[in-house]
Structure 1
Amino acid sequence: MSLERFADGVVGRVVIAGETSPRVELSPAAATLLERLWEAHGPLMFHQSGGCCDGSAPMCYPAGEFLTSGADVLLGELDLGRGAAGPDASWTGSEAATRVVPFWMSAEQFAYWRHTHLTVDVVPGRGSGFSVEAPEGVRFLIRSRLLE
């Protein structure tokens, strides 16, 4: 299934075998922030651990800085479209890379949230985690609804 981008955000690709609807998307504000963060930090990834406090917020890391394993589930891939490769990128246009941000969740948390659709949004205020948006004075959060 292909990714869709609407005026109201970015809808992720279906990546879980046997499913037909995406499980994760970005709000317009989150998409805009993520594009800016990609330009500053290069390729990115999300991980949702389900831990207490800020561990229950989606954390955004430079790709590969959070190691995933069989204890994690890839819920979706958020495609920001084509753009510069990241920090100090000197090439654009037809040479520009497609910017795909994988969204991972711990398998234990997925067991609780398996019936939900997630929208990554952004709100004012700084979280206390290591997520790359923290210096921006905002934090990512999840808005959820039951899958249809």
Structure 2
Amino acid sequence: MTQAAADLLTKLQGRHGALMFHQSGGCCDGSSPMCYPDGDFIVGDRDVLLAVLDVGDDGVPIWISGPQFDTWKHTQLVIDVVPGRGGGFSLEAPEGMRFLSRGRAFTDAENAALDRDPPLTGARYAEGDRPGQRAPVVAEAQDACPIPGRRAARVQG
């Protein structure tokens, strides 16, 4: 998550309490990350937890459907924010901003790491499993998804 997106998310947490994301599968608002009050979107047993963002006391989980994860699993996603209005389902819509996903393809080493340590499913999460760490906040999307051949900036935290 970029710092600008984290700042907006913190503002939304102050207004709505605990939050969650679900990476949309293309209905209504394309493939935007949709922000909801935690629990307002029912997570299914096959949904996949991409990460828990390091924002707020409890963090903010990001979910994606299992079939969509199979399509995107080779991609690092970074949630960013830009001016504009997306669909009316996500909490940032009244702010005149919209969350969006930026990404890059994983390296062979990152794909191998994912194969060794698959992400949590909704079923495992319901049983109490949690990820070992939170996803960091970065200054800009390119800091998490560097352009090949360029040095990434430091991670803020």
Q: Secondary structure at the match of 1:104?
A: strand
Q: Which amino acid aligns with 1:48?
A: Q
Among 77, 82, 99, the alignment partner of 1:118 is 77
The answer for the alignment partner of 1:62 in structure 2 is 37
Report % sequence identity: 61
Partners of 1:129 and 1:110 in 2: CA distance: 24
Partners of 1:99 and 1:120 in 2: CA distance: 18
* Deviations, residues 55-108 of structure 1 (Å, cap 9, x unaligned): 411000000000011231111101214xxxxxxxxxxxxxxxx13100000111
Higher helix proportion (structure 1 or 2): 2
Q: Which amino acid aligns with 1:43?
A: A
Higher strand proportion (structure 1 or 2): 1
TM-score by length of 1: 0.68
Query: Residue 78 in 1 paired to residue 78 in 2?
Result: no
Partners of 1:111 and 1:72 in 2: CA distance: 11
Higher mean C-alpha deviation, range 36-45 or range 69-78: 69-78
Query: Residue 46 in 1 paired to residue 21 in 2?
Result: yes
Q: Which amino acid aligns with 2:71?
A: Y
The answer for the alignment partner of 1:28 in structure 2 is 3
Query: Residue 141 in 1 paired to residue 116 in 2?
Result: no
Unaligned runs of 5+ in 2: 108-157
Find runs of 4+ consecutive structure 1 residues off by over 2 angstroms: none
Unaligned runs of 5+ in 1: 1-25, 82-97
Q: Aligned residues, how many?
A: 107
Superposed CA RMSD: 1.3
The answer for the alignment partner of 1:5 in structure 2 is none
Partners of 2:52 and 2:66 in 1: CA distance: 17
